Amino acid sequence: MLQAIISDIHGNLPALKAVLADIKKRKPDEIICLGDVIGYGPQPRECLDLVRKTCSVVLMGNHEHAVLFGSEHFTPLAQEAIDWTANQLRDPETLNYLASLSPQHRDGKIMYVHGSMRDPLLDYLREADSPWMFHLLLESLLDDFDDTRVCFVGHNHRAFLGTEVGYLFPHYQPPDAKTKFNISGQKLYVSVGSVGQPRDSDYRSSYVLYDGENVEYFRIEYDVDATIKLIREANLPEFLAERLLYGE
Ligand SMILES: [Fe+2]
Protein backbone atom coordinates (compact mmCIF):
# COMPACT_ATOMS: atom_id res chain seq x y z
CA MET A 1 0.00 0.00 0.00
CA LEU A 2 1.50 3.29 -1.09
CA GLN A 3 0.17 6.41 0.65
CA ALA A 4 0.73 10.07 -0.09
CA ILE A 5 0.29 12.24 3.01
CA ILE A 6 -0.40 15.96 2.75
CA SER A 7 -1.27 18.65 5.31
CA ASP A 8 -1.88 22.34 5.91
CA ILE A 9 -3.06 23.44 2.49
CA HIS A 10 -4.56 26.62 3.93
CA GLY A 11 -6.64 27.66 0.94
CA ASN A 12 -3.67 27.74 -1.43
CA LEU A 13 -5.11 26.16 -4.59
CA PRO A 14 -2.09 26.62 -6.92
CA ALA A 15 0.06 24.80 -4.33
CA LEU A 16 -2.50 22.02 -3.88
CA LYS A 17 -2.84 21.48 -7.63
CA ALA A 18 0.94 21.32 -8.09
CA VAL A 19 1.27 18.78 -5.27
CA LEU A 20 -1.59 16.61 -6.53
CA ALA A 21 -0.09 16.62 -10.05
CA ASP A 22 3.22 15.37 -8.64
CA ILE A 23 1.47 12.77 -6.46
CA LYS A 24 -0.46 11.47 -9.47
CA LYS A 25 2.80 10.59 -11.25
CA ARG A 26 3.78 8.34 -8.32
CA LYS A 27 0.47 6.42 -8.41
CA PRO A 28 -0.28 6.01 -4.68
CA ASP A 29 -3.17 3.81 -3.55
CA GLU A 30 -4.54 6.62 -1.42
CA ILE A 31 -3.97 10.19 -0.27
CA ILE A 32 -4.37 11.17 3.39
CA CYS A 33 -4.81 14.80 4.46
CA LEU A 34 -3.87 15.78 8.02
CA GLY A 35 -6.08 18.87 8.22
CA ASP A 36 -6.01 22.67 7.88
CA VAL A 37 -7.31 22.53 4.32
CA ILE A 38 -8.66 26.04 4.92
CA GLY A 39 -7.63 29.24 6.72
CA TYR A 40 -5.12 31.97 5.69
CA GLY A 41 -5.40 31.37 1.94
CA PRO A 42 -7.77 32.86 -0.66
CA GLN A 43 -9.44 29.70 -2.07
CA PRO A 44 -10.80 27.67 0.87
CA ARG A 45 -13.85 26.29 -0.95
CA GLU A 46 -11.90 25.21 -4.02
CA CYS A 47 -9.32 23.46 -1.84
CA LEU A 48 -11.98 21.76 0.24
CA ASP A 49 -13.76 20.49 -2.89
CA LEU A 50 -10.55 19.10 -4.35
CA VAL A 51 -9.44 17.45 -1.10
CA ARG A 52 -12.85 15.84 -0.64
CA LYS A 53 -12.59 14.45 -4.18
CA THR A 54 -9.04 13.12 -3.95
CA CYS A 55 -8.32 12.10 -0.32
CA SER A 56 -9.55 8.91 1.35
CA VAL A 57 -9.02 10.33 4.85
CA VAL A 58 -9.31 14.01 5.82
CA LEU A 59 -8.58 15.10 9.40
CA MET A 60 -9.87 18.15 11.22
CA GLY A 61 -7.24 20.84 11.74
CA ASN A 62 -7.40 23.72 14.18
CA HIS A 63 -8.53 26.05 11.37
CA GLU A 64 -11.53 23.85 10.49
CA HIS A 65 -12.27 23.76 14.22
CA ALA A 66 -12.01 27.56 14.48
CA VAL A 67 -14.40 28.11 11.57
CA LEU A 68 -16.97 25.98 13.40
CA PHE A 69 -16.39 26.99 17.00
CA GLY A 70 -14.66 30.39 17.01
CA SER A 71 -11.19 31.88 16.66
CA GLU A 72 -10.66 33.55 20.03
CA HIS A 73 -7.42 31.64 20.80
CA PHE A 74 -5.71 32.86 17.61
CA THR A 75 -3.63 35.98 16.95
CA PRO A 76 -5.60 38.98 15.63
CA LEU A 77 -4.15 38.46 12.16
CA ALA A 78 -5.11 34.77 12.09
CA GLN A 79 -8.55 35.68 13.48
CA GLU A 80 -9.08 38.07 10.59
CA ALA A 81 -8.27 35.30 8.10
CA ILE A 82 -10.45 32.75 9.90
CA ASP A 83 -13.41 35.14 9.99
CA TRP A 84 -12.93 35.81 6.25
CA THR A 85 -12.78 32.04 5.61
CA ALA A 86 -15.88 31.35 7.72
CA ASN A 87 -17.76 33.87 5.59
CA GLN A 88 -16.90 31.88 2.45
CA LEU A 89 -18.15 28.60 3.94
CA ARG A 90 -21.53 29.35 5.47
CA ASP A 91 -23.66 26.73 3.73
CA PRO A 92 -24.97 23.91 5.94
CA GLU A 93 -23.58 21.11 3.75
CA THR A 94 -20.02 22.42 4.11
CA LEU A 95 -20.41 23.11 7.83
CA ASN A 96 -21.83 19.61 8.39
CA TYR A 97 -18.91 18.14 6.48
CA LEU A 98 -16.38 20.08 8.58
CA ALA A 99 -18.16 19.02 11.76
CA SER A 100 -17.91 15.37 10.70
CA LEU A 101 -14.09 15.43 10.66
CA SER A 102 -11.87 14.03 13.42
CA PRO A 103 -8.36 15.28 14.26
CA GLN A 104 -7.02 11.71 14.44
CA HIS A 105 -7.11 8.47 12.50
CA ARG A 106 -5.62 5.12 13.44
CA ASP A 107 -4.60 2.34 11.10
CA GLY A 108 -3.13 -0.51 13.17
CA LYS A 109 0.16 0.69 14.65
CA ILE A 110 0.12 3.85 12.58
CA MET A 111 -1.45 7.04 13.88
CA TYR A 112 -2.35 10.10 11.82
CA VAL A 113 -3.03 13.35 13.71
CA HIS A 114 -3.15 17.05 12.98
CA GLY A 115 -1.19 18.17 16.08
CA SER A 116 0.48 15.45 18.16
CA MET A 117 -0.30 12.26 20.08
CA ARG A 118 -0.72 14.37 23.24
CA ASP A 119 -3.33 16.64 21.67
CA PRO A 120 -4.33 15.66 18.12
CA LEU A 121 -5.90 19.03 17.36
CA LEU A 122 -3.84 21.78 18.98
CA ASP A 123 -0.42 20.61 20.21
CA TYR A 124 2.61 21.68 18.17
CA LEU A 125 5.25 19.00 17.80
CA ARG A 126 8.46 21.02 18.02
CA GLU A 127 12.08 20.05 17.95
CA ALA A 128 13.34 19.37 21.48
CA ASP A 129 16.58 20.92 22.82
CA SER A 130 18.56 17.71 22.46
CA PRO A 131 18.21 14.23 20.97
CA TRP A 132 17.85 12.88 24.52
CA MET A 133 14.92 15.19 25.24
CA PHE A 134 13.28 14.05 22.05
CA HIS A 135 13.88 10.43 23.01
CA LEU A 136 11.97 11.13 26.23
CA LEU A 137 9.21 12.84 24.27
CA LEU A 138 8.79 9.82 22.03
CA GLU A 139 8.80 7.46 25.01
CA SER A 140 6.26 9.50 26.92
CA LEU A 141 3.98 10.11 23.98
CA LEU A 142 4.06 6.89 22.02
CA ASP A 143 4.34 4.37 24.86
CA ASP A 144 1.18 5.68 26.44
CA PHE A 145 -0.91 5.10 23.36
CA ASP A 146 -1.38 1.38 22.75
CA ASP A 147 1.38 0.07 20.54
CA THR A 148 1.69 2.99 18.14
CA ARG A 149 5.05 2.98 16.38
CA VAL A 150 4.69 5.73 13.82
CA CYS A 151 2.74 8.96 14.04
CA PHE A 152 2.23 11.25 11.05
CA VAL A 153 1.71 14.91 12.03
CA GLY A 154 0.96 18.23 10.34
CA HIS A 155 0.22 21.57 12.07
CA ASN A 156 3.80 22.80 12.60
CA HIS A 157 4.32 23.46 8.83
CA ARG A 158 7.86 22.02 9.00
CA ALA A 159 9.11 18.87 7.28
CA PHE A 160 11.18 16.57 9.48
CA LEU A 161 11.53 13.07 10.84
CA GLY A 162 11.61 12.85 14.64
CA THR A 163 13.41 9.65 15.64
CA GLU A 164 14.69 8.22 18.93
CA VAL A 165 18.14 9.65 18.22
CA GLY A 166 17.09 13.11 17.09
CA TYR A 167 15.88 14.85 13.97
CA LEU A 168 16.34 14.49 10.27
CA PHE A 169 15.55 17.52 8.16
CA PRO A 170 15.57 16.32 4.58
CA HIS A 171 15.48 19.73 2.97
CA TYR A 172 17.83 21.74 5.20
CA GLN A 173 20.68 19.99 3.49
CA PRO A 174 22.22 20.26 0.01
CA PRO A 175 19.95 19.45 -2.93
CA ASP A 176 21.48 15.97 -3.27
CA ALA A 177 20.79 15.16 0.43
CA LYS A 178 18.95 11.99 1.31
CA THR A 179 15.17 12.40 1.24
CA LYS A 180 14.11 8.74 1.53
CA PHE A 181 14.36 6.95 4.89
CA ASN A 182 13.72 3.33 5.82
CA ILE A 183 11.76 3.54 9.09
CA SER A 184 11.08 -0.19 9.60
CA GLY A 185 11.08 -1.17 13.26
CA GLN A 186 11.55 2.41 14.48
CA LYS A 187 9.38 4.50 16.73
CA LEU A 188 9.07 7.98 15.34
CA TYR A 189 7.13 11.02 14.29
CA VAL A 190 6.85 11.91 10.62
CA SER A 191 6.18 15.63 10.30
CA VAL A 192 5.01 16.00 6.71
CA GLY A 193 5.33 19.79 6.32
CA SER A 194 2.83 22.09 4.65
CA VAL A 195 1.40 22.24 1.14
CA GLY A 196 0.16 25.80 1.24
CA GLN A 197 2.20 27.72 3.84
CA PRO A 198 5.59 26.12 4.61
CA ARG A 199 7.44 27.61 7.61
CA ASP A 200 10.80 25.91 7.31
CA SER A 201 12.56 28.54 5.21
CA ASP A 202 11.67 26.77 1.96
CA TYR A 203 8.72 28.24 0.06
CA ARG A 204 8.09 25.02 -1.90
CA SER A 205 5.14 22.78 -0.97
CA SER A 206 5.91 19.68 1.07
CA TYR A 207 4.42 16.19 1.15
CA VAL A 208 5.53 12.61 1.88
CA LEU A 209 5.06 9.14 0.42
CA TYR A 210 4.91 6.08 2.71
CA ASP A 211 5.00 2.48 1.50
CA GLY A 212 4.92 0.75 4.90
CA GLU A 213 8.74 0.71 5.17
CA ASN A 214 10.06 3.93 3.64
CA VAL A 215 9.15 7.58 4.06
CA GLU A 216 10.12 9.84 1.18
CA TYR A 217 9.94 13.65 1.36
CA PHE A 218 9.16 15.84 -1.64
CA ARG A 219 9.30 19.62 -2.22
CA ILE A 220 7.26 20.95 -5.11
CA GLU A 221 7.47 24.31 -6.90
CA TYR A 222 4.19 26.12 -7.47
CA ASP A 223 2.99 29.50 -8.76
CA VAL A 224 3.46 31.55 -5.56
CA ASP A 225 2.74 34.81 -7.40
CA ALA A 226 -0.71 33.56 -8.39
CA THR A 227 -1.61 32.86 -4.75
CA ILE A 228 -0.18 36.19 -3.57
CA LYS A 229 -2.27 38.04 -6.17
CA LEU A 230 -5.44 36.31 -4.94
CA ILE A 231 -4.61 37.07 -1.28
CA ARG A 232 -4.29 40.76 -2.15
CA GLU A 233 -7.49 40.77 -4.23
CA ALA A 234 -9.34 39.23 -1.26
CA ASN A 235 -7.95 41.96 1.03
CA LEU A 236 -6.51 39.37 3.39
CA PRO A 237 -3.61 40.61 5.59
CA GLU A 238 -0.50 41.45 3.51
CA PHE A 239 1.70 39.39 5.84
CA LEU A 240 -0.06 36.24 4.62
CA ALA A 241 1.08 37.05 1.09
CA GLU A 242 4.69 37.97 1.93
CA ARG A 243 5.39 34.97 4.14
CA LEU A 244 4.75 32.61 1.23
CA LEU A 245 7.78 34.02 -0.60
CA TYR A 246 10.13 33.10 2.24
CA GLY A 247 8.53 29.96 3.60
CA GLU A 248 8.15 31.56 7.04
FE1 LIG B 1 -1.82 24.85 9.81
Q: What is the CATH number of the domain that holds 191?
A: 3.60.21.10
What type of residue is 233?
Answer: E
Share of the chain above pLDDT 90, in %: 74
Q: How far is the centre of ligand 1, averaged over its atoms, from the C-alpha of 123 (Å)?
A: 11
Q: How far is the centre of ligand 1, averaged over its atoms, from the C-alpha of 109 (Å)?
A: 25
- pTM > 0.75: yes
Q: How far is the centre of ligand 1, averaged over its atoms, from the C-alpha of 130 (Å)?
A: 25
Predicted local confidence at residue 64, as pLDDT:
98
Q: How far is the centre of ligand 1, averaged over its atoms, from the C-alpha of 199 (Å)?
A: 10
Output the CA–CA distances (angstroms, integers) from residue 89 to 63, 83, 96, in the order listed.
12, 10, 11
Predicted local confidence at residue 131, as pLDDT:
66
Q: How far is the centre of ligand 1, averaged over its atoms, from the C-alpha of 32 (Å)?
A: 15
Average pLDDT, rounded, for the chain: 91
Q: How far is the centre of ligand 1, averaged over its atoms, from the C-alpha of 1 (Å)?
A: 27
Q: How far is the centre of ligand 1, averaged over its atoms, from the C-alpha of 143 (Å)?
A: 26
Q: How far is the centre of ligand 1, averaged over its atoms, from the C-alpha of 105 (Å)?
A: 17
Instruction: Please measure the distance between the N-terminal and C-terminal CA atoms of the chain and give it in whole angstroms.
Output: 33
Q: Would you tell me how many other CB atoms lie within 10 Å of the CB of residue 108?
A: 10
Look at residue 158 and tell me whether its pLDDT is greater than 90: yes
Give the range of the structural domain holding residue 60, as residue numbers without chain letter: 3-246
Q: How far is the centre of ligand 1, averaged over its atoms, from the C-alpha of 13 (Å)?
A: 15
For the chain, the domain total comes to 1
pLDDT tens per residue across span 193-235: 999 999 999 999 999 999 999 999 999 999 999 999 999 999 9
DSSP H helices, the chain, are 13-25, 44-54, 62-69, 76-88, 92-99, 131-142, 224-233, 238-246
Q: How far is the centre of ligand 1, averaged over its atoms, from the C-alpha of 198 (Å)?
A: 9
* pLDDT, mean of residues 170-186: 82
Q: How far is the centre of ligand 1, averaged over its atoms, from the C-alpha of 34 (Å)?
A: 9
Q: Phi, psi at residue 191, to the nearest 5°?
A: -90, 115
Q: How far is the centre of ligand 1, averaged over its atoms, from the C-alpha of 156 (Å)?
A: 7
Predicted local confidence at residue 18, as pLDDT:
98
Between 141 and 60, the more confident residue is 60
Predicted local confidence at residue 176, as pLDDT:
76
* pLDDT, mean of residues 155-182: 82
Q: Give bridge partners of residue 192 from the DSSP assignment.
A: 159
* pLDDT, mean of residues 88-111: 95
Q: How far is the centre of ligand 1, averaged over its atoms, from the C-alpha of 157 (Å)?
A: 6
Predicted local confidence at residue 171, as pLDDT:
72
Q: How far is the centre of ligand 1, averaged over its atoms, from the C-alpha of 180 (Å)?
A: 24
Predicted local confidence at residue 127, as pLDDT:
67
Q: How far is the centre of ligand 1, averaged over its atoms, from the C-alpha of 36 (Å)?
A: 5
Predicted local confidence at residue 129, as pLDDT:
63
